[in-house]
Every structure is written in C-alpha cells, then in structure tokens.
Structure 1
Amino acid sequence: MAKKFSELMAATMSPDAVQRAKKATQEMRDAMPLNELRQARGLSQKALAVILKVEQPAIAKMERRTDMYISTLRSHIEAMGGVLEITARFPEGAVKINSFEMTDTAPEN
C-alpha cells in the first residue's frame, strides 16, 4: 500500500532536514519570476492576454522584462487575482510604500 508523503518524509528525514526543506520551499514561494507565478496560478500566457486585452506575445515580452512601470506590473498581478504591494526593507524593519496604490478618490488641489 502506498504511504502518504508526510509519513515517508517523517520516517526518512531528520527533523533538521525537514526544517531545512520547509525553509527552502518557503524561500522559493517568496521569490518567484512573473512567468512562474503565472504558471503557479494556473494561467497560460494566452489566458492572461485575454484578461489584459493584449496579444499573447505582449505577455511573453512583459515576463522577460527586468524594468517596467509599476502600473504595468500592478495590472499583471491583478489580472492573476492578486494585489501588488511594495515594501521597503531596512535593517530596522519594513515599510509598506503606499504612494503607488490606486485610490477611488480624486486628488485634492
């Protein structure tokens, strides 16, 4: 009879090895290129292109870019069902930057 992966892992890996594997998995989840994020969300380039009302090659080009407008990245993330948050990390702690967030109110004059 087949064993559950968790049982197999518990039987063959030391607790230290399990912790290292969990940490490595979390690090991979925390840092992911756009194309891998799209794939993890179960979307093809074509499907994302339909949502964003662009052609599929535009998605491929966007995923290869190392520099883009924040609004472009926000649209891409929102099309995948997410919310873009920008955080600056310093030795003293992290600060969420809200200057780039969309608002429902008009700017004051």
Structure 2
Amino acid sequence: MAKKFSELQTQMRPDAQRQVQAKTAALQTTIKLRELRKSLCITQASLARNLRVQQAAISKMESRDDLLLSSLIEFVRGLGGHLVLTASFPDDRTFDLTPQAALPLSAEPARRKSRKPAAANHPTSATRRP
C-alpha cells in the first residue's frame, strides 16, 4: 500500500527535511510564463500580435521548461516589461548579468545633446553682477 509523503517525510533526517522544504518553497515561488501573462491580464492572442508571431508560438513558449534567453527577453518585452538577470551566490555576492538587449530603451546610454555657446550679446550676460 502506498504511503503518504507526509508519513515518509517524518522518517527523514532533519537536514533532508529542511532541504525538501527549501526546494518546495523555491518551486512555489517560481512564476511560470503563463501565470505571468495571465497576472497582467494579457491574452496569448494579444501577446502574439505584440511579438508578431502566431498564437501557437506563445502557447509553445509557455509550455516549455527550457527557453533561449533571447526568447524570454522578447516574451517579457511583449508584455511591456524588461528582463533583469542576476546571479547570486552563497556569500551574498550578486552579479548583474542582464544582456544589453534586455534593457529597456530608456536605460540605454543617452546621447549627449550638443550645446550651443551662449551668445555674447545675450541680455542676461550684460546684467550679471559679480
């Protein structure tokens, strides 16, 4: 007869129980692409229009466990967001691995506007006080 997992878990070592609980918590906080899209009230059809692909391509992306990073970037961009990729390590160090292509347009370096030199006969230059 099959046993319930909770019964098996009570027989596990305490460190193994902690590992199972940590993995369970991590899995429960993982957001799947379908859930992300639905939480934003966006349909597969409208996302497909934004990305200029067929609706079936969106369905296929949402059901895959392994996506190309470029596909994920485009999916998130099609939802109106941008992807941020961060590597974190046990010693609390983190590294931003966000590809340039994933950044929003406003985050790209701004081009400098050329400044015209102030005219010598500008009214405020004659009335300046030291």
Same fold (TM over 0.5): yes
| Equivalence for 1:84 | 83
Report matched runs for 1:1-109 at 5 Å. 31-93=30-92, 94-98=94-98, 100-102=99-101
- Cα separation, 2, equivalents of 1:101 and 1:37: 22
How far is 1:91 from its partner?
0.9
The amino acid that maps onto 2:52 is K
Gaps of 5+ in 1: 1-26
How far is 1:42 from its partner?
0.8
Deviation per CA, 1:55-78: give whole Å up to 9, x if none: 111100000111121111000001
- Cα separation, 2, equivalents of 1:47 and 1:70: 21
| Equivalence for 1:22 | none
How far is 1:41 from its partner?
0.7
TM-score by length of 1: 0.63
Q: Give the secondary structure class of the aligned counterpart of 2:53.
A: coil
Gaps of 5+ in 2: 1-26, 110-130
How far is 1:97 from its partner?
1.0
The amino acid that maps onto 1:95 is F
- Cα separation, 1, equivalents of 2:100 and 2:37: 22
How far is 1:48 from its partner?
0.4
Q: Give the secondary structure class of the aligned counterpart of 2:65.
A: coil
- Cα separation, 2, equivalents of 1:81 and 1:89: 26
How far is 1:96 from its partner?
1.3
Identity %: 34
Greater share of residues in strand: 1
How far is 1:92 from its partner?
1.4
- Cα separation, 2, equivalents of 1:64 and 1:89: 26
| Equivalence for 1:23 | none
The amino acid that maps onto 1:48 is L
Q: Which one has the largest radius of gyration?
A: 2
